[in-house]
Structure 1
Amino acid sequence: MKKQRRYTGSVHHDKIRSDLFESLHDDIVISVLCKLSSTASSPSDLISVLLTCKRLNKLGVHPLVLSKSCSKTVAVRAKTWCHEAHRFLKLCVNAGNSEAYYTLGMIRFYCLQNRASGASLLAKAAIRSHAPALYSLALIQFNGSGGMKNDKDLRAGVALCVRAASLGHIDALRELGHCFQDGYGVRKNIHEGRRLLVQANARELASVLRDNPLLSPSLATQIGNNDHQRPVLANSASDFDFGLFSDYGFSLTGREMHPVNKFMVEWFGFGSREDGTPGLGLRMCSYNECGRPETRKNEFRRCSGCGKVNYCSRGCQAHDWRAHHKMECAPMEEWMGHAINDVEEEGNMNGEDVVMEDRTVEIEES
C-alpha cells in the first residue's frame, strides 16, 4: 500500500508539471525558443530541445523561431550533409533567415556547383545587409567566379566591398584599400588606399581586444612599450608599432572561422567525400581557413614572390601571410639569407651596422 501511494503521488506531481507547461501560451514558448535559436552555440542546442516533446517539436520549426537562428544554429557539417540537413536550411530560408540565405547560397554555389541558385541566395542575403554575403558577392565579381575571365565586373565588386565595409566587414575594408592602391576597379588613390588599410588593421585589433575577455585595451599600450611580459598579440614590439601601417596588419590570434568556411574546408579537404573535389586542374585558396575553390582554371591570383600559393582575395593573402606563409615564401628566405651574409661580410670589413628594408610580397594574376 505504501508503494502504491508513493507511485500515485509521483504521477500526480508529474501531471501538475505537465499541466503548467501546457498552460503556457504558444507565444511565450515561441519567444523562449527564439532566444535559444539566436544564442545557440551549435545546432544540437536547439535540436535537443525540439526532441523533448511533440509541442516543442512543432513550435521549434515555427517561422519566427527559424528566422532568428544564428550562424551557429544553422551550421551544418560536410561529413553529415544529407537531405534532412538541406531541408532544414531550406526551412530557414523560407522563414527569411539571412544566415540561412548565406549558408545555403555558399554551399550551392561552391560545393554543389549550382551557380545560379547559390548566387541568388547570396543576393537575397546581401539585400538584407548581410556583410559576409556582400563580401562573397564582391569576390565573385572580382574573380569572375562561375563564368569566364571576361565576366569580371570590377566596379560591381568595389561597390559591394564599400557596402560590406560600411557594415564593419574588415576583409572588405582591406580589399577596398588595395583596390584604391592598385587602381583595381576604381581610380587609383594611394593615399586613400593606405588610409583604408590602416583603418582595417585598427578595426581588427579592436575586435580581438573586444572578443577576448582575457585582454583589455590597456594591454595595447603595453605591447608598444618594451614590456617583456606582454600577451601574444604581436611577434614583437616593432610588429605592434608598424602593424597599423602594414598591408598585412598584426600577427593577431583569436580569429574564429565562419561555419560556412568550416563546411567548405571539410567538403573539399582530404577526400572526405567522393564528390568533394573542385574539379580537374582547379585549385583551392591557399589560406586553409577559407575553403573557396576555383570555378575555372587560373581564377585565383598567385603570390608573386614564390608563385607556389594562390588566393581568392587580399584578405586571405593577409591572413595566410601572418599565419605561416611569410616563413615559407622561398624567394624571401633566399633573399634574406643572401642579405644577412652580405651584411656580416660588410660588417666585418667596415665595422658598421647595416639596416635592411622590408619587402612586401604581392599577389598577381595567374
Structure 2
Amino acid sequence: MSCRKRQKTSPDKTSDDFFDSLPDDLVLSILCKLSSTATSPSDFISVLITCKRLNSLGLHSLVLSKASHKTFSVKAKNWCDSLHRFLKHCADAGNIEACYTLGMIRFYCLQNRGSGASLMAKAAMNSHAPALYSLAVIQFNGSGGTKNDKDLRAGVALCARAAFLGHIDALRELGHCLQDGYGVKQNVTEGRRHPPAAPVGLPVDE
C-alpha cells in the first residue's frame, strides 16, 4: 500500500515536474522562436511573467538577440524607463533592430548624438538598410554638428549601399544625387534610372 501511495501524483504536480525536466537548451530554442516571431510586446511579456524560470531564460542574451522589432514597438506616449532598459538589453545582446531603434531614439529624441550614431553604425555594419539610410541623411545634413561636418561623399556611399539592399527612400535619394552631382560626379542618365516612384527591381523607361 505504501508503494502505491508514493506512485500516486496529482495532475498539477506531474505537469510541473515535466516542465522542470525540460533542458534549458530546449526551452531557449522555443523562446528564441517566440521572440523572433512576436507581433507585439504582449506576445513576449506574457511569457516572461508566467514563472521565474521562463522570466530568467526569456531574458537570456540569445533570446534577446533574436527578438523581432515588434517586440519593443510601442507608441511614444507609452515609452518608459523599463522599456528603454529592455531595448538596451536587446541591443547589448547584438539585436540589430534594437541597435537601430535605440540609436534613432537616442540621436533624435534624447539628443545623445554620439551614442545614437554609434548604435546606428553597429546596425549598418550588419547591412541594416534603414540604419544605412539614416546615417546617410545625417552625413548629408551634418546633423548634430555644423555645416562643416557634412560629408556628402560618405552620405552618397551609405545611400548607395542602402539602395542596393532595396531601401526605396535611399534609391530615390541616390537618383537625386546623381542628377544634381551632389556628393558624386553628375550623371543625369543614371540618375533618371532612380525616379521617386520606381519600385526596386522594376525596369524604368528612359
Normalization by structure 2: what TM-score? 0.90
Q: Calculate percent identity across the aligned residue pairs.
A: 71
1:61 maps to which of 59, 62, 86? 59
Distance in 1 between residues matched to 2:149 and 2:199, nearest whole Å: 34
TM-align CA RMSD: 2.1
Question: What pairs up with 1:73-88 in 2 under 5 angstroms?
Answer: 73-88=71-86
1:21 maps to which of 19, 22, 37? 19
**How many positions carry a matched residue from both structures?**
199
Helix, strand or coil: the match of 2:119? helix
Which 4+ stretches in 1 moved above 6 angstroms?
none
Corresponding residue for 2:139?
141
Opposite residue 69 of structure 2, the aligned amino acid is S
Q: Deviations over 1:259-293 (max 9, x none)?
A: xxxxxxxxxxxxxxxxxxxxxxxxxxxxxxxxxxx
2:198 maps to which of 201, 210, 218? 201
Opposite residue 194 of structure 1, the aligned amino acid is R
Pairwise CA distance, 1:96: 0.7
Distance in 1 between residues matched to 2:15 and 2:135, nearest whole Å: 51
Normalization by structure 1: what TM-score? 0.52
Opposite residue 107 of structure 1, the aligned amino acid is I
- The question of whether the paired residues in 2 share the 8 Å contact of 1:197 and 1:245 is answered with no
Corresponding residue for 2:3?
none
Opposite residue 151 of structure 2, the aligned amino acid is D
Considering fraction of residues, name the structure with more helix: 2
* Larger-Rg structure: 1
Q: Does 1:101 align with 2:99?
A: yes
Corresponding residue for 1:36?
34
Helix, strand or coil: the match of 1:202? coil
Pairwise CA distance, 1:112: 0.5
- The question of whether the paired residues in 2 share the 8 Å contact of 1:46 and 1:73 is answered with yes
1:179 maps to which of 174, 177, 180? 177
- The question of whether the paired residues in 1 share the 8 Å contact of 2:168 and 2:199 is answered with no
Distance in 2 between residues matched to 1:140 and 1:23, nearest whole Å: 52
- The question of whether the paired residues in 1 share the 8 Å contact of 2:103 and 2:120 is answered with yes
Helix, strand or coil: the match of 2:195? helix
Pairwise CA distance, 1:185: 0.7
The answer for unaligned runs of 5 or more in structure 2 is 1-7
